[in-house]
Structure 1
Amino acid sequence: MLARRHFLTAATAGLGLLAAGCSTDNSSGTSAQPSVPPVSTVPPAPGAGELKVSSFQLFTQEDLNFQSMIALGASGISAAVGEVLTAVNQANAAPGGASYQSVYDAWIASGNLLTQQADEALKAGHKVTASARYMRAAQYYNQALFWVLGTSTPGAEAQVYGSMNAAWTAANSLARPAPESVSVPYEDHPLPGWFFSGGSGTRPVVIMNNGSDGQNVDMLAEGGDAALERGYHVFIFEGPGQGSMLFEHNIVFRPDWEKVITPIVDYLGGRDDVDKDKIVLHGISLGGYFVARAAAYEHRLAAVIADPGLDSSWRAFPESIKKIAEAGPAEVVNKIWADDVIAGASPQESFALRKRLEIYTAEAHDEAAAGQIPTDWYGISRRVQEFTLSPEQMAAITSPTLVTDYVEDIFFGDGPTALYDGLTVEKKKFIRFGETNGAQYHDAPVASQYVGEVILDWVDETIGYQG
């Protein structure tokens, strides 16, 4: 039998699907700067030093806490601090305390409330208010969507996604300027996309490439909105294993992500308002693997950001269950999996495995939605290992590449350094974010503003752009 404490920690860490951060220096541009009045710092009090390590606790259960930090970090873009804390307090005050069910219920209530308030604002003619409230409703439904598999209604993913997407669509339709909703040709199901304009004329564009469980609304808070402020166009999309592709069509991840990105580059390169020589690809969380894989084959990219870097999705899985995958033929592996993992899994372990594995095969997604841990670990484990960059593929990347890493990122391990070390392109940079700006943890959930500043400063310098 697996060691219970080790398995719990490792399985939960295996969810490595979201975001976190830390800090390094970043040089500024050399062009003429506007006149800025001098700013003086304030001397610290005697005995006071630099900022200490920061910590954030909304829930005592680690996975509940981490995901809720993402909502808190989106405040000012797609969330509001008071609304987030109200939902957290409601979940903590539920009978029995915070649980997947009580957190889900609190976020659904928040999404419903903001939708109702947005409807009222729209009816009264307040379009700006309505748009902002619909966007926050989308974020709160997004938070609920993350926990669906751990509730009494695990099959409700498509329904909750539908509410989130409706709120997202309503918010965008009222925005000024409103983003264009587009369909990018892709095999049997076009890729849904949204083109956000950074202004008139021909401009660079940043493609925001999500990971394994974030949604479109996350892409604004995790870099999209910051890019728009600088005058970049922004393109957000749903690829295989993401959003409607997963929840409505049961189309799961594919390792050869260049088959996803190349059609998007084709589409953007055909637009008159896009500078074809300044197409930037930014991958968030597991998107760090996706963009590196795509860049090994798609060489029209002006810059690539693997945020954080990852050379293999297999890294996100604990050694204990990796060993099971190598225990023998399929029937042996799956029997051990059933006896040692599925039979004794706690609710937290069960949720982590269902959430982590649903993206890799259609059968796993069906089982997870039925409230079951996927049973074919032999097949799934081999599929996961296909999401691995070879030395030759890393060496084939020719675009300038930024690889990020985050202090206390328990998901990707040495993935960022492995990717960076494997790059042979001359223009590459490694940035490790940390506690000083509250940018620790996977993809810096509460420090997206700081992380975005650092990343986009690098992009500005790399492609020679000043908005």
Structure 2
Amino acid sequence: MGLLFKRDFHDEFGAWALGFIPYGGIDFGEIVGVAQAVGDGDDSAFYEAWVAAGDRFKTEATDTLTKGRQAVARDLFLKASECYATAKHPIFGFPVDPRLVEAFRKQTAAFDQAMALSKTPVTPIRIPFEKGSLPAYFIPAVDYPDSVRPLLILTNGYDGTITDMYFASAVAAIHRGYHCLLFDGPGQGELLIEQGIPLRPDWETVVSAVIDVAVTLPLVDVARIAISGWSLGGYLAPRAASGDERIAACIADPGVPSLADGFRQMVINLMGASPEAVANLGTMDQHLLDQVWDFITNNRKLSWSIVQRGFWVNGTKDLRAYLASLELYTMTGRESLIRCPTLLTMAQHDSLSSAANVFYDSLTCPKTLLRFSADRGAGDHCEMKNRTLLNRCVLDWLDDVFGTTAITH
């Protein structure tokens, strides 16, 4: 399949929406229409085209709601939220662009309107955390809105949002009989964009606060609480499971044992550096660091990922500090602390999943490694071109672990 968007950088973000189509996201023709509106344009053109699509869906939703068609309006508000979420990706970073904040607020408002129009209305909740709180949504299973059921806690990655996570994972799960709890932690969504709170490696501290609230919810089967993380969440979810025994199952998509190791290998492969030279990224030789900096800043995707996005999310000001922070995100020495059944995914062409098999070998808990291949359209990051396959396999595994049965249609 060729590019939908003319620029590779834009296509990576815009084509992400393809994975949401089966779960109520905007349809293929709408994505093509946005791509045509962007054309050869820059990041501003990308932003404006997606926001315009979001505004169009929002207007349609509002008009539909005045006619009493709540279910249709809900679907349209969700599509609007998706468009606003997609719009801000290329401008995501520090210094914070006012358009980023505007799109995030419009995204959140549209998502809240959609949730309020659900057959069983969903209202945002706040999870007490340290001196503040985390935004969250408890979304009940479609066929069990009033029943005690297993809970799936979903945790995001670097620049993902609750809207993305809803389409990517929650829709499939709530239709399989699982209640879902979605939240923003430090370095994500509201906490980053509105409050400037950076990411932290001790995700078990964050998720324990989430579970403290989850176990008080009357519909949650406290003996069957699972956590699932995608992208960077493939590190965050296992890290949480290593520190809270109330987690009864863990899913990492993909399995990520370390953030530094992937970067370390890139420097070895591209710069010809010795393993000793990059044993600790934060203390590498200045000459090598300068070479790495030149390589990053001359690559649009890497510059966005690391300088624009990574520095901001990790709360760092320069490359050395950023690389030093990566060393803190590691499961080394914590593998045996995971006691619950754990599922790791490994997609064929996803560089983030390159160490999933090594991570798998290090685990001492009941474990499963699922490989996804390009010939099934699932070989890329987070299996986004065949998310239905990923969700089916993951939820089948979770059904087996929890002995879950659900209504089938």
Q: TM-score, normalised by structure 2?
A: 0.89
Deviation of the 1:338 alpha carbon: 10
> 2:347, 2:380 within 8 Å by CA — same for their partners in 1?
yes
Amino acid at match of 2:237: V
User: Secondary structure in 1 aligned to 2:138?
Assistant: strand
Deviations 1:27-65 (A, max 9, x none): xxxxxxxxxxxxxxxxxxxxxxxxxxxx45313543322
| Alpha-carbon distance in 2 for matches of 1:257, 1:328 | 21
Indicate if the aligned counterparts of 1:139 and 1:218 stay in contact, CA closer than 8 A: yes
Distance of aligned partners of 1:56 and 1:150 in 2 relative to their CA distance in 1, 3 Å threshold: farther
> Are residues 1:435 and 2:382 paired?
no
Q: Which amino acid aligns with 1:72?
A: L
How many Å separate the matches in 2 of 1:334 and 1:188?
A: 40
RMSD over equivalenced CA pairs, Å: 2.7
Equivalent pair of 2:282/2:321 in contact (CA under 8 Å): no
Say if 1:310 and 1:418, in contact at 8 Å, map to a contact too. no
User: Which of the residues 373, 376, 398 maps onto 1:459?
Assistant: 398
| 2:281 and 2:320 in contact (8 A); partners too | no
Alignment of 1:49-198 (within 5 A): 55=1, 57-76=3-22, 77-92=24-39, 97-149=40-92, 154-198=97-141
1:235, 1:196 → 2: CA distance?
6
Structural mapping, 1:221-236, within 5 Å = 221-236=167-182
From 354, 357, 370, the equivalent of 2:310 is 357
Per the TM alignment, residue 352 of structure 1 is displaced from its structure 2 partner at its CA by 3.3
Cα distance in 1 between the residues matched to 2:20 and 2:203: 27
Between the aligned partners of 2:31 and 2:91, the Cα distance in structure 1 is 18
Secondary structure, counterpart of 1:408 in structure 2: coil
1:304 matched residue in structure 2: 250
* Alignment partners' CA distance in 1, 2:260 and 2:289: 21
- After superposition, the C-alpha distances for 1:170-202 in whole angstroms (9 at most, x for unaligned) are 111112112232111101221111000112221
8 Å contact kept, 2:282–2:323: no
Tell me the alpha carbon deviations over residues 415-463 of structure 1, each in whole angstroms, 9 at most, x when there is no partner. 21122111011x2000001123311201011211111011000000011
Q: Given the superposition, is the C-alpha separation of residues 456 and 349 from structure 1 closer, same or farther in structure 2, using an over 3 Å criterion? A: closer
Tell me, in whole angstroms, the C-alpha distance in 2 between the residues paired with 1:234 and 1:173: 16
CA contact (8 A) 1:281 1:303 kept: yes
| C-alpha distance in structure 2 between counterparts of 1:173 and 1:388, whole Å | 39
Note the C-alpha offset of 1:327.
8.8
Deviation per CA, 1:383-413, whole angstroms, max 9, x where unpaired? 11100111x2011110000000101113x15
Local SS of the residue matching 1:254: coil
Tell me how far 1:315 sits from its aligned partner: 3.5
- Structure-2 residue corresponding to 1:345: 298
The alpha-carbon deviation at position 135 of structure 1 amounts to 0.6
TM-score normalised by length of structure 1? 0.78
Counterparts of 2:13 and 2:193, CA distance in 1: 20
- Distance apart, 1:382 and its partner CA: 0.7
Paired with 2:220 and 2:294, the residues of 1 have a C-alpha distance of: 53
Q: Which residue of 2 aligns with 1:409?
A: 350
8 Å Cα contact 2:281-2:323 kept in structure 1? no
Counterpart of 2:334 in 1: which secondary structure?
Answer: helix
Give yes or no for contact 1:104–1:144 (8 Å, CA) kept in 2: yes
Q: Separation in 2 of the partners of 1:311 and 1:330?
A: 21
**Amino acid aligned to 2:69:** H
From 303, 314, 320, give the equivalent of 1:378.
Answer: 320
Equivalence for 2:155: 209
Residue 368 (structure 2) pairs with residue 421 (structure 1): no
Shift in Å, 1:325 = 9.9
Structure with the higher helix share, 1 or 2: 2
Stretches of structure 1 lacking an aligned partner (at least 5 in a row): 1-54, 365-373
Shift of the alpha carbon at 1:124?
2.7
Find the residue that maps to 1:447 and give its secondary structure.
helix
Does structure 2 retain, via aligned residues, the 8 Å contact 1:240–1:251?
Answer: yes
| Distance in 1 (alpha carbons) for counterparts of 2:94 and 2:170 | 31
Q: For each residue in 1:130-175, what CA deviation from the matched residue of structure 2 results, as whole angstroms up to 9, or x when unmatched?
A: 2111110110111111112489983432222111111111111112
Task: Report 1:183-332 matches (<5 A).
Answer: 183-198=126-141, 199=144, 200-317=146-263, 318-319=266-267, 332=286
Q: Match of 1:370?
A: none
Secondary structure in structure 2 of the residue aligned to 1:235 = strand
SS in 2 for 1:264: helix
| Gap regions ≥5 residues in structure 2 | none
The separation in 2 between residues aligned to 1:306 and 1:299, in whole angstroms, is 17
Going from structure 1 to structure 2, the CA distance change for 1:336 and 1:325 (only over 3 Å counts) comes to farther
Q: Distance in 2 between matches of 1:324 and 1:82?
A: 46
Q: How far does the alpha carbon of each residue in 1:58-88 deviate from its partner, in whole angstroms, 9 at most, with x for none?
A: 1354332222222121114232222112111
Distance 1:328-1:447 versus aligned 2 partners, 3 A rule: closer
- Single out whichever of 331-340 and 204-213 deviates more from structure 2: 331-340
Q: Which amino acid aligns with 1:460?
A: D
CA-to-partner distance for each residue in 1:224-245, whole Å, 9 max, x for gaps?
1111111110110001111000
- CA positional deviation for 1:215: 0.9
Q: Distance in 1 between matches of 2:218 and 2:359?
A: 34
Moved more, 310-319 or 97-106: 97-106
Matched residue, 1:396: 337
SS of 2:36 mapped into structure 1: helix
Change (3 A) 1:296 1:102: same
Deviation track 1:199-219 (CA, whole Å, cap 9, x = no partner) reads 222110111111111111111
How big is each residue's C-alpha offset from its partner over 1:6-27, in whole Å with a ceiling of 9 and x where there is no partner?
xxxxxxxxxxxxxxxxxxxxxx
1:255, CA displacement in angstroms? 0.3
User: Whole-Å Cα distance in 2 between the matches of residues 309 and 335 of structure 1?
Assistant: 28
Indicate the percent of aligned positions where both proteins have the same amino acid.
28
The structure whose RCO (Cα within 8 Å, separation 6+) is larger is 1
